[in-house]
Structure 1
Amino acid sequence: MQSPFTIQELVIPEAIAGGDVLAKAPTGSGKTIAFAVPLVERTDPKAQTPSALVLVPTRELASQVAGECAALSASMGLRVAAVYGGAPLRAQAKRAAGAHILIATPGRLQDLVERKLLSLSNIRTLVLDEADRMLDMGFKPQVERIVRRLPVQRQTMLFSATLDGEVGELARSFTKNPSRFETEEKPDRNEAEVSHRFESVSAEGKVERLIQELEAERGLALVFVRTKRGADRLAKRLARHDVAAIALHGDMTQSARERALERFRSGKIKTLVATDVAARGLDLVDITHVINFDPPEDDKGYVHRVGRTGRAGRTGSGVTFVTPEQQGDVSRVAARLGHREQFENAGMRSAPLKRVYTSRRGRRSKW
């Protein structure tokens, strides 16, 4: 990083001064450093129990945030621990109890606290990272119960892609006179650095077309599929064609997921086949290609998926495979996101836009 990202320049001075912060920033905008630096600066290495808590929605994000905090705090004598589901509970509890900075998913943290394996009575700083996604994933009750256990006198920082609706309500109840910062800046500083391409394919020819994409000059490639079984099946089919790939999905054990991510992160395996849930929080600057082998369910899914590439000033490419029966739905997403021209350049016709209805109880209709 040559210079601080906007969110870092805005947040760090206020956070180091001890003020509450509300920050609207997209995933990958440099926000982890924006709260990690103040945490390290304000945490007392003499503390015997955790004094800083970062709540995150997924275990992958917990591991990544813990890694960044550990790198910053190594010279300060601070211990950092990550707490998330799918790993041995007692061992996590022991590490967490002796840490200065705690990174946790809400479910596992609540479990440890209710079993009296961990105390939050000394927490002086709370960070809610990707608060919108925590609510989307149904963690609001756990988050509220955790926050009720924290000291009233504390610093609170909330980071989210949106600050309205439920997130806004959460912010009002958790913070006191917060400073509010907003930035739409992407880490690449230029949205045009991520190219968007749509490929017309047949169901029978999708794998062959994917192999052609993966054999091109590239860095790491993240391939999205719709189902867990589909991830396993596609990784095996690629292997039969001498394309080294590994699957990542929710049915894998935590140790298997971590091994898969490490092999991908290190570049030993350059192709990761993943489901949406498994790839949440994945933030690797070396991902040059995101390939939607199966199209995402909606606009938000497309943005989240393709947003995995083009990080930290790098260029990236988002490629979406479209079968004939998917063309109408995918064309509407492309049009709403400003990619109609790229869609039609692939020789496909755009369908008329449809009104999409949303209810508070019901799920948003597809596309």
Structure 2
Amino acid sequence: MAGSRPRQNTMSNSLTFTDLGVPDTLDRLLSAAGVERPFPIQAATLPDALAGRDVLGRGRTGSGKTYAFVLAVLTRLAASATSRRAGRPRALILVPTRELATQIDSVMAPLARALSLRTMVVFGGVAARPQITGLRAGVDVLVACPGRLADHVQAGNAHLDAVEITVLDEADHMADLGFLPTVRRLLERTPHRGQRLLFSATLDSGVDVLVRRFLTNPVTHSVDSTLSPVAAMTHHILHVHADDRFAVLVELTAAPSRTVVFTRTKRGARTLARRLAAAGVTAVELHGNLAQGARTRNLRAFATGEAHTLVATDIAARGIHIDDVALVVHADPPVEHKAYLHRSGRTARAGADGTVVTVMTDGQVAEVRALTRKAGITATTTRLRPGDALLRDIAPGARKVVPQPVPQSPAAGRHEARPAHGGRGQRGDTPAQNSSRRSVSTRSGAAAFSARARSGGRRTGR
């Protein structure tokens, strides 16, 4: 992400990237960025990928898959005798989301420039004309979401017959989002003898069909069990009364640590982010209803520390990496255990520690117990009220604002307890609630920021 620096802790082994075949130029850049030793998925896959073999890499979220394929692609292209041509990328990296595409390119671009290689990102939600211009100028590595790339291919702006290496990242997530038919059509346009690298946390949801159809004698490397919980995570379940839910969320997110809060619905993310901002928390939202410009601005605000709380749907549960996320809060417990593990994987990345909290109301006890059992995690369950000392233990540090819980009517509290439907908007609040919210926002130093967050980062003055 813009504003976030790639960070990777030193591993215990003495293997270096140069030992694996990565050029000295890239090794120096990696070291300067704090990436000094390869992680297991990188050490396992790079030798085979650099030898030109098809690779199937499986590893839990946060295991370092991005550098594993980025370094392989750049090293092989730099050693290739071919040159870039207009509208014909030499390598293709397919990803499920715009945010992941942007993040991969931000990691790859400085490395590519050092090798005189050109990268480009293509996804929907933005104007197509600049993308057409970039494709015509020629690109070595194209990072793309399937839908917009398919549009460019159909329009004749992009041709995939010169692709030497194809990477599918988060392949299982692409399957979950329904992209596999488009992915298959795109892969069929790449040369049959081209190298293919597929990285995925699991092989379900039709990913195995892609492996059998498009990978030739792939070498499989698995790091940790698929979807395994991370030992460095501490898991808490906070059993709260429905009327106390929002106040507890305020206390957790008012801490100075970087926090990601997950909701089930887009409406729920929007409502919660705005209520937190009104309570003095520097919170921004991320969900599919936001325009791409707002999504980019909000992620940048979170990455740079302008906002320290990101309220998101599962759009942020896969692939998005922001340094130093200390706390993940499931404001709405996810529907199934895989989503729990993927969401939780936004913290405790690359060897760091992290804390995961699930906020559970009385009506959610059975589903949360089943969820944690299937996820294979052991969580400490605590029944508490706002102001409990455990909340400061979980999210330590001096609060930047004094938590000012917004009063709720019994009806509003009951609605908050039904996360599958999101929260009620501010329109449903009582005059007393609105008055309290305005008072809190005025008292806090985050009032101006709250206005920008609600407008997706734009200045508001009229």
Normalising to structure 2: TM-score of the pair?
Answer: 0.71
Cα distance in 1, alignment partners of residues 256 and 276 from structure 2: 17
Match of residue 252 from structure 1: 290
Q: CA deviation at 1:190?
A: 9.1
Match of residue 16 from structure 1: 50
The AA in structure 2 aligned to 1:312 is A
Distance 1:266 1:96, change over 3 A: farther
Distance 1:319 1:190, change over 3 A: closer
Q: CA deviation at 1:278?
A: 4.8
Alignment of 1:145-184 (within 5 A): 145-163=185-203, 166-184=206-224
Unaligned runs of 5+ in 2: 1-7, 11-36, 385-462
CA RMSD of aligned residues (A): 2.1
Unaligned runs of 5+ in 1: 348-367
The runs of 4+ residues in structure 1 deviating greater than 6 Å are none
Alignment of 1:259-270 (within 5 A): 259-270=297-308
Q: CA deviation at 1:50?
A: 1.1
Aligned partner (choices 56, 68, 75) of residue 114 of structure 2: 75
Q: Equivalent residue of 2:261, what SS? A: strand
Cα distance in 1, alignment partners of residues 376 and 193 from structure 2: 46
Asked whether the equivalents of residues 57 and 134 of structure 1 are also in contact (C-alpha less than 8 Å), the reply is yes
**What CA deviation, in whole Å up to 9, does each residue of 1:28-69 have, x standing for no partner?**
211111111111111148322310001111111111111111
Aligned partner (choices 97, 100, 105) of residue 58 of structure 1: 97
Match of residue 411 from structure 2: none
Q: CA deviation at 1:191?
A: 2.6
Match of residue 123 from structure 1: 163
Q: Equivalent residue of 1:204, what SS? A: helix
- The answer to whether structure 1 residue 209 and structure 2 residue 243 are counterparts is no
Q: CA deviation at 1:277?
A: 2.7
Distance 1:190 1:148, change over 3 A: closer
Alignment of 1:1-367 (within 5 A): 1=8, 2=10, 3-43=37-77, 44=80, 46-48=83-85, 49-97=88-136, 98-163=138-203, 166-184=206-224, 191-218=230-257, 220-339=258-377, 342-343=380-381, 345-346=382-383
Normalising to structure 1: TM-score of the pair?
Answer: 0.89
Kindly name which structure, 1 or 2, has the bigger radius of gyration based on alpha carbons: 2
Q: CA deviation at 1:131?
A: 1.1
Q: How many residues are matched?
A: 344
Asked whether the equivalents of residues 309 and 315 of structure 1 are also in contact (C-alpha less than 8 Å), the reply is yes
Q: Equivalent residue of 1:99, what SS? A: coil
Cα distance in 2, alignment partners of residues 22 and 221 from structure 1: 32
**What CA deviation, in whole Å up to 9, does each residue of 1:226-274 have, x standing for no partner?**
2222222212211222111111111110011000000111111001111
Q: Equivalent residue of 2:243, what SS? A: coil
Cα distance in 2, alignment partners of residues 157 and 46 from structure 1: 21
Distance 1:192 1:282, change over 3 A: same
Distance 1:21 1:222, change over 3 A: same
Q: CA deviation at 1:217?
A: 4.6
Cα distance in 1, alignment partners of residues 234 and 351 from structure 2: 14
Asked whether the equivalents of residues 288 and 309 of structure 1 are also in contact (C-alpha less than 8 Å), the reply is yes
Q: Equivalent residue of 2:327, what SS? A: strand
Asked whether the equivalents of residues 82 and 96 of structure 1 are also in contact (C-alpha less than 8 Å), the reply is no
Asked whether the equivalents of residues 49 and 72 of structure 2 are also in contact (C-alpha less than 8 Å), the reply is yes
Asked whether the equivalents of residues 135 and 157 of structure 2 are also in contact (C-alpha less than 8 Å), the reply is no
Q: CA deviation at 1:197?
A: 0.3
Q: Equivalent residue of 1:181, what SS? A: strand
